Structure 1
Protein backbone atom coordinates (compact mmCIF):
# COMPACT_ATOMS: atom_id res chain seq x y z
CA UNK A 1 0.00 0.00 0.00
CA UNK A 2 1.25 3.49 -0.85
CA UNK A 3 1.92 5.47 2.31
CA UNK A 4 4.33 8.22 1.21
CA UNK A 5 4.29 10.25 -2.01
CA UNK A 6 6.81 12.76 -3.38
CA UNK A 7 5.29 15.89 -4.90
CA UNK A 8 6.70 18.91 -6.68
CA UNK A 9 5.87 21.92 -4.56
CA UNK A 10 4.79 22.70 -1.03
CA UNK A 11 1.64 21.81 0.89
CA UNK A 12 -1.32 23.35 -0.89
CA UNK A 13 0.26 22.98 -4.34
CA UNK A 14 -1.69 21.39 -7.17
CA UNK A 15 0.48 18.27 -6.86
CA UNK A 16 -0.58 18.10 -3.20
CA UNK A 17 -4.24 18.31 -4.21
CA UNK A 18 -3.74 15.39 -6.62
CA UNK A 19 -2.21 13.32 -3.80
CA UNK A 20 -5.38 13.88 -1.78
CA UNK A 21 -7.77 13.11 -4.64
CA UNK A 22 -6.09 10.14 -6.34
CA UNK A 23 -5.32 7.81 -3.45
CA UNK A 24 -8.11 6.04 -1.56
CA UNK A 25 -6.22 6.05 1.73
CA UNK A 26 -4.47 9.09 3.26
CA UNK A 27 -0.83 9.51 2.23
CA UNK A 28 2.06 11.48 3.68
CA UNK A 29 3.86 13.82 1.29
CA UNK A 30 7.49 14.70 0.71
CA UNK A 31 7.73 18.30 -0.53
CA UNK A 32 10.25 18.76 -3.37
CA UNK A 33 11.02 22.03 -5.11
CA UNK A 34 12.13 20.39 -8.37
CA UNK A 35 11.09 17.36 -10.40
CA UNK A 36 14.68 16.09 -10.23
CA UNK A 37 14.31 15.98 -6.45
CA UNK A 38 10.95 14.18 -6.84
CA UNK A 39 12.62 11.47 -8.92
CA UNK A 40 15.56 11.20 -6.50
CA UNK A 41 13.14 10.66 -3.61
CA UNK A 42 11.49 7.83 -5.53
CA UNK A 43 14.72 6.18 -6.65
CA UNK A 44 16.26 6.27 -3.16
CA UNK A 45 13.03 4.80 -1.70
CA UNK A 46 12.21 7.80 0.47
CA UNK A 47 8.69 7.41 -0.90
CA UNK A 48 6.46 4.73 -2.39
CA UNK A 49 5.29 6.79 -5.38
CA UNK A 50 5.65 10.19 -7.00
CA UNK A 51 3.30 12.62 -8.73
CA UNK A 52 4.52 14.45 -11.82
CA UNK A 53 2.64 16.87 -14.07
CA UNK A 54 2.91 15.78 -17.71
CA UNK A 55 0.83 18.25 -19.69
CA UNK A 56 -1.45 21.25 -19.42
CA UNK A 57 -4.45 22.00 -21.64
CA UNK A 58 -3.09 25.52 -22.28
CA UNK A 59 0.70 25.21 -22.08
CA UNK A 60 1.12 21.74 -23.59
CA UNK A 61 3.57 18.98 -22.65
CA UNK A 62 6.17 19.19 -19.91
CA UNK A 63 8.84 17.45 -21.99
CA UNK A 64 11.58 17.15 -19.32
CA UNK A 65 9.27 15.04 -17.16
CA UNK A 66 8.78 12.47 -19.91
CA UNK A 67 12.57 12.27 -20.17
CA UNK A 68 12.97 11.91 -16.39
CA UNK A 69 10.57 8.97 -16.33
CA UNK A 70 12.29 7.34 -19.30
CA UNK A 71 15.91 7.95 -18.25
CA UNK A 72 15.34 6.65 -14.71
CA UNK A 73 13.38 3.56 -15.82
CA UNK A 74 10.30 4.57 -13.85
CA UNK A 75 6.76 3.39 -14.54
CA UNK A 76 3.49 5.30 -14.88
CA UNK A 77 0.87 3.38 -12.88
CA UNK A 78 -1.98 5.89 -13.06
CA UNK A 79 -3.09 9.36 -14.14
CA UNK A 80 -5.23 12.14 -12.72
CA UNK A 81 -6.72 15.25 -14.34
CA UNK A 82 -7.07 18.35 -12.20
CA UNK A 83 -8.99 21.53 -12.96
CA UNK A 84 -6.46 24.29 -12.25
CA UNK A 85 -8.00 27.32 -10.57
CA UNK A 86 -5.62 30.19 -9.83
CA UNK A 87 -6.51 32.54 -6.97
CA UNK A 88 -4.94 35.78 -5.78
CA UNK A 89 -4.27 35.72 -2.02
CA UNK A 90 -2.54 37.76 0.67
CA UNK A 91 -2.46 38.30 4.41
CA UNK A 92 -5.89 39.13 5.91
CA UNK A 93 -7.39 42.61 5.88
CA UNK A 94 -5.74 43.84 2.68
CA UNK A 95 -7.28 44.98 -0.58
CA UNK A 96 -6.01 44.34 -4.12
CA UNK A 97 -5.15 48.04 -4.31
CA UNK A 98 -2.76 47.56 -1.36
CA UNK A 99 -0.84 44.76 -3.11
CA UNK A 100 2.35 46.00 -4.76
CA UNK A 101 3.96 42.69 -5.83
CA UNK A 102 2.68 39.23 -6.69
CA UNK A 103 5.00 36.23 -6.70
CA UNK A 104 4.23 32.88 -8.31
CA UNK A 105 5.41 30.17 -10.68
CA UNK A 106 6.07 31.55 -14.20
CA UNK A 107 3.30 29.39 -15.68
CA UNK A 108 0.75 30.69 -13.19
CA UNK A 109 1.74 34.29 -13.91
CA UNK A 110 1.43 33.68 -17.64
CA UNK A 111 -2.00 32.09 -17.30
CA UNK A 112 -3.26 35.07 -15.27
CA UNK A 113 -1.72 37.84 -17.37
CA UNK A 114 -5.02 39.33 -18.54
CA UNK A 115 -6.30 39.74 -14.97
CA UNK A 116 -3.31 41.84 -13.92
CA UNK A 117 -3.71 44.24 -16.84
CA UNK A 118 -6.48 45.77 -14.71
CA UNK A 119 -3.96 46.36 -11.90
CA UNK A 120 -0.90 48.00 -13.53
CA UNK A 121 0.44 49.03 -10.12
CA UNK A 122 1.19 45.38 -9.26
CA UNK A 123 4.64 44.04 -10.15
CA UNK A 124 4.66 40.36 -11.20
CA UNK A 125 7.68 38.36 -10.01
CA UNK A 126 8.56 34.80 -11.05
CA UNK A 127 9.14 32.30 -8.24
CA UNK A 128 9.70 28.56 -7.70
CA UNK A 129 6.28 27.35 -6.64
CA UNK A 130 2.75 28.67 -6.14
CA UNK A 131 2.08 27.25 -2.67
CA UNK A 132 5.60 27.92 -1.40
CA UNK A 133 5.02 31.64 -1.93
CA UNK A 134 1.80 31.43 0.09
CA UNK A 135 3.71 29.68 2.89
CA UNK A 136 6.44 32.35 2.84
CA UNK A 137 3.91 35.19 3.07
CA UNK A 138 2.37 33.56 6.14
CA UNK A 139 5.67 32.70 7.86
CA UNK A 140 7.26 36.10 7.32
CA UNK A 141 3.98 38.03 7.59
CA UNK A 142 4.70 39.83 4.32
CA UNK A 143 2.25 42.69 3.87
CA UNK A 144 1.44 44.15 0.44
CA UNK A 145 2.66 40.91 -1.18
CA UNK A 146 0.35 38.53 -3.03
CA UNK A 147 0.54 34.93 -4.19
CA UNK A 148 -1.25 33.02 -6.93
CA UNK A 149 -2.16 29.59 -5.65
CA UNK A 150 -4.94 27.13 -4.87
CA UNK A 151 -7.77 27.66 -2.39
CA UNK A 152 -6.21 24.82 -0.38
CA UNK A 153 -3.02 26.87 -0.01
CA UNK A 154 -5.02 29.86 1.23
CA UNK A 155 -6.73 27.66 3.82
CA UNK A 156 -3.52 25.97 4.99
CA UNK A 157 -1.56 29.21 5.34
CA UNK A 158 -4.50 31.33 6.58
CA UNK A 159 -4.50 33.84 3.73
CA UNK A 160 -7.44 35.78 2.34
CA UNK A 161 -8.46 35.12 -1.26
CA UNK A 162 -8.74 38.54 -2.89
CA UNK A 163 -9.90 37.20 -6.27
CA UNK A 164 -11.05 33.73 -7.30
CA UNK A 165 -10.33 31.95 -10.62
CA UNK A 166 -8.19 34.67 -12.15
CA UNK A 167 -6.78 32.52 -14.97
CA UNK A 168 -7.51 33.92 -18.43
CA UNK A 169 -8.90 30.66 -19.82
CA UNK A 170 -11.38 29.38 -17.28
CA UNK A 171 -11.14 25.70 -18.29
CA UNK A 172 -7.51 25.02 -17.44
CA UNK A 173 -6.70 21.37 -16.85
CA UNK A 174 -3.44 19.58 -16.03
CA UNK A 175 -2.74 15.88 -16.44
CA UNK A 176 -0.63 14.29 -13.72
CA UNK A 177 1.12 10.91 -13.76
CA UNK A 178 1.39 8.63 -10.74
CA UNK A 179 4.87 7.09 -10.98
CA UNK A 180 6.51 4.14 -9.23
CA UNK A 181 9.79 2.23 -9.39
CA UNK A 182 8.12 -1.00 -10.54
CA UNK A 183 5.51 -1.81 -13.15
CA UNK A 184 1.80 -1.41 -12.67
CA UNK A 185 -0.24 -3.49 -10.27
CA UNK A 186 -3.36 -2.58 -12.23
CA UNK A 187 -5.26 -5.75 -13.24
CA UNK A 188 -4.96 -6.42 -16.95
CA UNK A 189 -8.74 -6.28 -17.31
CA UNK A 190 -8.71 -2.65 -16.05
CA UNK A 191 -5.85 -1.45 -18.29
CA UNK A 192 -7.15 0.63 -21.20
CA UNK A 193 -4.41 3.23 -21.64
CA UNK A 194 -0.64 3.09 -22.12
CA UNK A 195 2.36 5.36 -22.54
CA UNK A 196 5.08 4.12 -24.87
CA UNK A 197 8.33 5.36 -26.37
CA UNK A 198 10.08 4.42 -29.58
CA UNK A 199 12.66 5.85 -31.98
CA UNK A 200 12.29 6.57 -35.68
CA UNK A 201 14.70 7.66 -38.39
CA UNK A 202 14.30 11.07 -40.00
CA UNK A 203 13.13 9.62 -43.31
CA UNK A 204 9.89 9.27 -45.21
CA UNK A 205 7.39 6.79 -43.84
CA UNK A 206 9.28 5.69 -40.70
CA UNK A 207 6.78 7.24 -38.28
CA UNK A 208 3.74 6.62 -40.49
CA UNK A 209 4.46 2.88 -40.55
CA UNK A 210 4.32 2.66 -36.76
CA UNK A 211 1.17 4.78 -36.58
CA UNK A 212 -0.50 2.52 -39.15
CA UNK A 213 0.19 -0.48 -36.91
CA UNK A 214 -1.56 1.31 -34.04
CA UNK A 215 -4.55 2.06 -36.23
CA UNK A 216 -4.74 -1.52 -37.56
CA UNK A 217 -4.65 -2.81 -33.96
CA UNK A 218 -7.59 -0.56 -32.95
CA UNK A 219 -5.51 1.76 -30.78
CA UNK A 220 -6.55 5.39 -30.37
CA UNK A 221 -3.66 7.85 -30.37
CA UNK A 222 -4.33 10.54 -27.73
CA UNK A 223 -0.89 12.14 -27.51
CA UNK A 224 2.35 12.18 -29.51
CA UNK A 225 5.43 14.16 -28.60
CA UNK A 226 8.83 14.07 -30.30
CA UNK A 227 12.16 14.62 -28.60
CA UNK A 228 15.52 14.83 -30.45
CA UNK A 229 18.04 12.15 -29.54
CA UNK A 230 21.01 14.33 -28.62
CA UNK A 231 23.69 11.76 -29.38
CA UNK A 232 22.25 10.92 -32.80
CA UNK A 233 21.51 13.96 -35.03
CA UNK A 234 18.29 13.84 -37.05
CA UNK A 235 16.88 10.94 -35.10
CA UNK A 236 13.90 11.33 -32.77
CA UNK A 237 12.29 9.58 -29.85
CA UNK A 238 8.49 9.64 -29.79
CA UNK A 239 6.48 9.56 -26.59
CA UNK A 240 2.97 8.34 -27.34
CA UNK A 241 -0.19 7.85 -25.28
CA UNK A 242 -2.77 5.40 -26.59
CA UNK A 243 -6.15 4.14 -25.42
CA UNK A 244 -7.86 0.88 -26.32
CA UNK A 245 -10.90 -1.21 -25.45
CA UNK A 246 -9.19 -4.61 -25.31
CA UNK A 247 -5.76 -5.25 -23.80
CA UNK A 248 -5.26 -7.97 -26.41
CA UNK A 249 -5.20 -5.27 -29.12
CA UNK A 250 -2.46 -3.39 -27.29
CA UNK A 251 -0.48 -6.60 -26.71
CA UNK A 252 -0.62 -7.35 -30.45
CA UNK A 253 0.55 -3.82 -31.32
CA UNK A 254 3.41 -4.07 -28.81
CA UNK A 255 4.74 -7.26 -30.36
CA UNK A 256 4.75 -5.70 -33.84
CA UNK A 257 6.15 -2.27 -32.93
CA UNK A 258 8.90 -3.89 -30.88
CA UNK A 259 10.18 -5.49 -34.09
CA UNK A 260 9.64 -2.45 -36.34
CA UNK A 261 10.90 0.43 -34.18
CA UNK A 262 14.14 0.90 -32.31
CA UNK A 263 14.29 1.66 -28.60
CA UNK A 264 10.70 0.55 -27.97
CA UNK A 265 9.69 0.84 -24.33
CA UNK A 266 6.44 0.73 -22.37
CA UNK A 267 6.52 3.61 -19.86
CA UNK A 268 3.24 2.60 -18.26
CA UNK A 269 0.01 0.63 -18.56
CA UNK A 270 -2.87 1.99 -16.51
CA UNK A 271 -6.52 3.02 -16.32
CA UNK A 272 -7.74 5.91 -18.46
CA UNK A 273 -8.82 8.69 -16.09
CA UNK A 274 -10.80 10.50 -18.78
CA UNK A 275 -13.58 7.90 -19.12
Structure 2
Protein backbone atom coordinates (compact mmCIF):
# COMPACT_ATOMS: atom_id res chain seq x y z
CA UNK A 1 0.00 0.00 0.00
CA UNK A 2 1.41 3.38 -1.05
CA UNK A 3 1.85 5.99 1.64
CA UNK A 4 0.86 9.47 0.46
CA UNK A 5 1.87 12.67 2.25
CA UNK A 6 -0.88 15.29 2.21
CA UNK A 7 -1.19 18.76 3.68
CA UNK A 8 -4.05 18.47 6.13
CA UNK A 9 -6.15 15.58 7.36
CA UNK A 10 -9.06 13.39 6.21
CA UNK A 11 -11.66 15.48 4.40
CA UNK A 12 -9.12 18.06 3.20
CA UNK A 13 -8.83 18.87 -0.50
CA UNK A 14 -5.41 17.19 -0.53
CA UNK A 15 -7.05 13.99 0.75
CA UNK A 16 -9.77 14.20 -1.93
CA UNK A 17 -7.08 14.57 -4.63
CA UNK A 18 -4.99 11.69 -3.25
CA UNK A 19 -8.04 9.38 -3.42
CA UNK A 20 -8.88 10.55 -6.94
CA UNK A 21 -5.35 10.30 -8.38
CA UNK A 22 -4.28 6.93 -6.99
CA UNK A 23 -6.45 4.07 -8.19
CA UNK A 24 -5.09 1.64 -5.59
CA UNK A 25 -5.72 1.76 -1.83
CA UNK A 26 -3.49 4.28 -0.06
CA UNK A 27 -2.52 5.24 3.48
CA UNK A 28 -2.02 8.87 4.50
CA UNK A 29 0.74 10.78 6.22
CA UNK A 30 -1.14 13.83 7.45
CA UNK A 31 1.14 16.88 7.52
CA UNK A 32 0.19 20.24 8.98
CA UNK A 33 2.50 22.21 6.66
CA UNK A 34 4.03 21.92 3.20
CA UNK A 35 7.51 21.83 4.81
CA UNK A 36 6.44 18.78 6.83
CA UNK A 37 5.05 17.21 3.65
CA UNK A 38 8.43 17.61 1.92
CA UNK A 39 10.24 16.19 4.98
CA UNK A 40 7.96 13.15 4.83
CA UNK A 41 9.20 12.48 1.28
CA UNK A 42 12.87 13.21 1.98
CA UNK A 43 12.95 10.91 5.01
CA UNK A 44 11.21 8.15 2.97
CA UNK A 45 8.29 8.14 5.40
CA UNK A 46 6.02 8.55 2.36
CA UNK A 47 6.23 7.34 -1.24
CA UNK A 48 4.54 10.33 -2.88
CA UNK A 49 3.10 13.69 -1.91
CA UNK A 50 0.11 15.76 -3.02
CA UNK A 51 0.80 19.49 -3.10
CA UNK A 52 -1.44 22.41 -4.13
CA UNK A 53 0.43 24.65 -6.57
CA UNK A 54 -2.09 27.19 -7.89
CA UNK A 55 -5.68 28.30 -7.62
CA UNK A 56 -7.80 29.81 -10.38
CA UNK A 57 -8.81 32.75 -8.11
CA UNK A 58 -5.92 33.26 -5.70
CA UNK A 59 -3.10 32.44 -8.16
CA UNK A 60 0.17 30.61 -7.59
CA UNK A 61 1.27 29.25 -4.24
CA UNK A 62 4.77 30.60 -4.82
CA UNK A 63 6.60 29.05 -1.81
CA UNK A 64 5.65 25.58 -3.11
CA UNK A 65 7.53 26.17 -6.38
CA UNK A 66 10.64 26.92 -4.30
CA UNK A 67 10.08 23.82 -2.12
CA UNK A 68 9.90 21.53 -5.17
CA UNK A 69 12.96 23.11 -6.75
CA UNK A 70 15.24 23.41 -3.71
CA UNK A 71 14.55 19.84 -2.57
CA UNK A 72 15.00 18.36 -6.07
CA UNK A 73 11.56 16.82 -6.07
CA UNK A 74 9.97 15.47 -9.26
CA UNK A 75 6.46 16.18 -10.48
CA UNK A 76 5.00 12.89 -11.72
CA UNK A 77 1.42 13.98 -12.28
CA UNK A 78 -1.23 16.62 -11.65
CA UNK A 79 -4.90 16.83 -10.74
CA UNK A 80 -7.39 19.69 -11.01
CA UNK A 81 -10.03 19.83 -8.30
CA UNK A 82 -13.17 21.97 -8.41
CA UNK A 83 -13.18 23.71 -5.07
CA UNK A 84 -16.31 23.61 -2.95
CA UNK A 85 -16.15 25.70 0.21
CA UNK A 86 -18.89 25.05 2.73
CA UNK A 87 -19.76 27.02 5.86
CA UNK A 88 -20.20 24.42 8.64
CA UNK A 89 -20.69 24.19 12.40
CA UNK A 90 -22.07 21.89 15.10
CA UNK A 91 -25.56 20.59 14.44
CA UNK A 92 -28.30 22.87 15.72
CA UNK A 93 -26.29 26.07 15.22
CA UNK A 94 -27.62 28.87 13.01
CA UNK A 95 -25.67 31.47 11.02
CA UNK A 96 -26.59 34.17 13.58
CA UNK A 97 -25.01 32.02 16.36
CA UNK A 98 -21.60 32.05 14.65
CA UNK A 99 -19.05 34.57 15.90
CA UNK A 100 -15.84 33.28 14.27
CA UNK A 101 -14.89 31.28 11.19
CA UNK A 102 -11.51 29.56 11.09
CA UNK A 103 -9.95 28.24 7.89
CA UNK A 104 -6.88 28.15 5.68
CA UNK A 105 -5.92 31.65 4.38
CA UNK A 106 -6.53 30.52 0.78
CA UNK A 107 -10.04 29.31 1.69
CA UNK A 108 -10.86 32.60 3.45
CA UNK A 109 -9.65 34.55 0.42
CA UNK A 110 -11.89 32.49 -1.85
CA UNK A 111 -14.99 33.22 0.29
CA UNK A 112 -14.40 36.86 1.28
CA UNK A 113 -17.39 38.21 -0.65
CA UNK A 114 -19.88 35.91 1.10
CA UNK A 115 -18.77 37.07 4.56
CA UNK A 116 -19.03 40.77 3.66
CA UNK A 117 -22.77 40.29 4.16
CA UNK A 118 -22.15 38.79 7.64
CA UNK A 119 -20.20 41.55 9.45
CA UNK A 120 -20.83 39.95 12.88
CA UNK A 121 -18.51 37.06 11.92
CA UNK A 122 -14.76 37.40 12.36
CA UNK A 123 -12.53 35.53 9.86
CA UNK A 124 -9.45 33.90 11.40
CA UNK A 125 -6.62 32.20 9.52
CA UNK A 126 -5.79 28.62 10.48
CA UNK A 127 -3.56 25.77 9.24
CA UNK A 128 -6.07 23.56 7.49
CA UNK A 129 -9.72 23.52 6.46
CA UNK A 130 -10.63 19.99 7.58
CA UNK A 131 -8.58 20.20 10.78
CA UNK A 132 -10.80 23.06 11.96
CA UNK A 133 -13.88 20.93 11.24
CA UNK A 134 -12.38 18.10 13.31
CA UNK A 135 -11.57 20.47 16.20
CA UNK A 136 -15.11 21.90 16.28
CA UNK A 137 -16.60 18.42 16.67
CA UNK A 138 -13.93 17.13 19.07
CA UNK A 139 -14.18 20.12 21.43
CA UNK A 140 -17.91 20.80 20.80
CA UNK A 141 -17.13 24.44 19.95
CA UNK A 142 -20.23 26.61 19.98
CA UNK A 143 -20.27 29.82 17.92
CA UNK A 144 -17.31 28.64 15.84
CA UNK A 145 -17.53 27.57 12.19
CA UNK A 146 -15.23 26.11 9.55
CA UNK A 147 -14.89 26.52 5.80
CA UNK A 148 -14.22 23.10 4.38
CA UNK A 149 -15.29 20.40 1.93
CA UNK A 150 -18.60 18.54 2.00
CA UNK A 151 -16.52 15.42 2.76
CA UNK A 152 -15.19 17.10 5.94
CA UNK A 153 -18.73 17.90 7.08
CA UNK A 154 -19.66 14.25 6.57
CA UNK A 155 -16.55 12.82 8.26
CA UNK A 156 -16.81 15.11 11.32
CA UNK A 157 -20.62 15.14 11.49
CA UNK A 158 -21.08 18.90 11.11
CA UNK A 159 -24.05 20.76 9.66
CA UNK A 160 -23.55 22.79 6.48
CA UNK A 161 -25.07 26.23 7.16
CA UNK A 162 -24.39 27.38 3.59
CA UNK A 163 -22.97 25.35 0.70
CA UNK A 164 -20.58 26.52 -2.02
CA UNK A 165 -19.85 29.95 -0.57
CA UNK A 166 -16.75 30.50 -2.72
CA UNK A 167 -16.89 33.81 -4.61
CA UNK A 168 -16.52 32.22 -8.04
CA UNK A 169 -18.35 28.96 -8.59
CA UNK A 170 -15.98 27.84 -11.33
CA UNK A 171 -13.07 27.76 -8.88
CA UNK A 172 -10.39 25.09 -9.23
CA UNK A 173 -7.06 24.29 -7.63
CA UNK A 174 -4.25 22.53 -9.43
CA UNK A 175 -2.39 19.93 -7.37
CA UNK A 176 0.88 18.27 -8.34
CA UNK A 177 1.92 14.75 -7.36
CA UNK A 178 5.55 14.76 -6.24
CA UNK A 179 8.20 12.25 -5.24
CA UNK A 180 11.97 12.16 -4.72
CA UNK A 181 12.73 10.16 -7.87
CA UNK A 182 11.54 10.66 -11.41
CA UNK A 183 8.71 8.40 -12.50
CA UNK A 184 9.00 6.10 -15.47
CA UNK A 185 6.12 7.13 -17.72
CA UNK A 186 5.93 5.86 -21.29
CA UNK A 187 7.06 8.62 -23.68
CA UNK A 188 3.82 8.43 -25.65
CA UNK A 189 1.84 9.21 -22.47
CA UNK A 190 3.83 12.35 -21.64
CA UNK A 191 2.22 15.55 -22.95
CA UNK A 192 3.11 18.10 -20.28
CA UNK A 193 6.31 19.26 -18.60
CA UNK A 194 7.33 21.62 -15.80
CA UNK A 195 10.65 23.39 -16.37
CA UNK A 196 12.84 25.86 -14.52
CA UNK A 197 15.58 28.13 -15.88
CA UNK A 198 17.41 31.38 -15.21
CA UNK A 199 18.22 34.14 -17.65
CA UNK A 200 20.63 37.05 -17.90
CA UNK A 201 19.02 40.35 -17.04
CA UNK A 202 19.22 41.71 -20.57
CA UNK A 203 16.74 42.82 -23.20
CA UNK A 204 14.99 40.10 -25.12
CA UNK A 205 16.36 37.10 -23.19
CA UNK A 206 12.93 35.88 -22.07
CA UNK A 207 11.36 36.61 -25.46
CA UNK A 208 14.03 34.47 -27.14
CA UNK A 209 13.20 31.47 -24.92
CA UNK A 210 9.47 31.92 -25.48
CA UNK A 211 10.10 31.97 -29.24
CA UNK A 212 11.90 28.62 -28.92
CA UNK A 213 8.82 27.14 -27.23
CA UNK A 214 6.57 28.52 -29.95
CA UNK A 215 8.85 27.40 -32.82
CA UNK A 216 8.92 23.87 -31.35
CA UNK A 217 5.08 23.75 -31.24
CA UNK A 218 4.86 23.88 -27.46
CA UNK A 219 1.96 25.58 -25.70
CA UNK A 220 2.96 27.68 -22.69
CA UNK A 221 0.28 27.13 -20.01
CA UNK A 222 2.02 28.79 -17.06
CA UNK A 223 4.94 31.11 -16.37
CA UNK A 224 5.99 32.14 -12.88
CA UNK A 225 9.06 34.16 -11.88
CA UNK A 226 10.81 33.90 -8.51
CA UNK A 227 13.61 36.18 -7.35
CA UNK A 228 16.95 34.53 -6.65
CA UNK A 229 17.69 35.44 -3.04
CA UNK A 230 21.45 35.04 -3.47
CA UNK A 231 21.57 37.21 -6.64
CA UNK A 232 19.54 40.44 -6.36
CA UNK A 233 17.49 41.39 -9.45
CA UNK A 234 18.03 38.01 -11.06
CA UNK A 235 15.07 35.69 -11.51
CA UNK A 236 14.29 32.03 -11.94
CA UNK A 237 11.42 31.20 -14.27
CA UNK A 238 9.11 28.24 -13.79
CA UNK A 239 7.12 27.29 -16.88
CA UNK A 240 4.59 24.60 -17.75
CA UNK A 241 4.28 23.51 -21.36
CA UNK A 242 1.96 21.10 -23.15
CA UNK A 243 2.65 19.38 -26.45
CA UNK A 244 1.20 16.80 -28.81
CA UNK A 245 4.48 15.18 -29.86
CA UNK A 246 7.27 14.35 -27.39
CA UNK A 247 9.84 14.89 -30.19
CA UNK A 248 8.92 18.58 -30.39
CA UNK A 249 9.36 18.90 -26.64
CA UNK A 250 12.69 17.03 -26.72
CA UNK A 251 13.97 19.48 -29.36
CA UNK A 252 12.92 22.51 -27.30
CA UNK A 253 14.49 20.98 -24.19
CA UNK A 254 17.88 20.52 -25.90
CA UNK A 255 17.87 24.14 -27.21
CA UNK A 256 16.84 25.59 -23.82
CA UNK A 257 19.55 23.58 -22.10
CA UNK A 258 22.11 25.47 -24.19
CA UNK A 259 20.48 28.91 -24.09
CA UNK A 260 19.33 29.20 -20.46
CA UNK A 261 21.27 29.08 -17.20
CA UNK A 262 20.53 26.38 -14.61
CA UNK A 263 18.01 24.63 -16.87
CA UNK A 264 16.11 21.95 -14.98
CA UNK A 265 13.24 19.59 -15.73
CA UNK A 266 10.97 19.46 -12.67
CA UNK A 267 8.68 16.88 -14.19
CA UNK A 268 7.36 15.21 -17.35
CA UNK A 269 3.86 13.80 -16.97
CA UNK A 270 0.34 13.47 -18.31
CA UNK A 271 -1.78 16.62 -18.55
CA UNK A 272 -4.41 16.37 -15.83
CA UNK A 273 -6.68 19.12 -17.12
CA UNK A 274 -10.16 17.99 -18.08
| Range into which the TM-score falls when normalised by the shorter chain | over 0.9
Alignment of 1:1-275 (within 5 A): 3-275=2-274
Is the 8 Å Cα contact of residues 201 and 234 (structure 1) preserved in structure 2? no
- Which ranges of structure 1 fall in alignment gaps of 5 or more residues? none
Offset, 1:117: 2.1
- Which ranges of structure 2 fall in alignment gaps of 5 or more residues? none
Is the 8 Å Cα contact of residues 7 and 16 (structure 1) preserved in structure 2? yes
Give, in whole Å, the separation in 2 of the partners of 1:226 and 1:158.
42
How many residues are matched?
Answer: 274
Superposition RMSD in Å = 1.0
DSSP 3-state at the match of 1:69: helix
- The 4+ residue runs of structure 1 with deviation greater than 2 A are none
What TM-score, normalized by structure 1, do the two folds share? 0.98
What TM-score, normalized by structure 2, do the two folds share? 0.98
Give, in whole Å, the separation in 2 of the partners of 1:106 and 1:20.
24
Cα distance per residue 1:144-164 (max 9 Å; x no partner): 111000001101111111110
Offset, 1:53: 0.6
Give, in whole Å, the separation in 2 of the partners of 1:273 and 1:144.
40
Give, in whole Å, the separation in 2 of the partners of 1:116 and 1:205.
45
Offset, 1:119: 1.8
Offset, 1:228: 1.1
Give, in whole Å, the separation in 2 of the partners of 1:168 and 1:23.
30
Cα distance per residue 1:107-152 (max 9 Å; x no partner): 2112111211222221211111111100100110111111000001
DSSP 3-state at the match of 1:177: strand
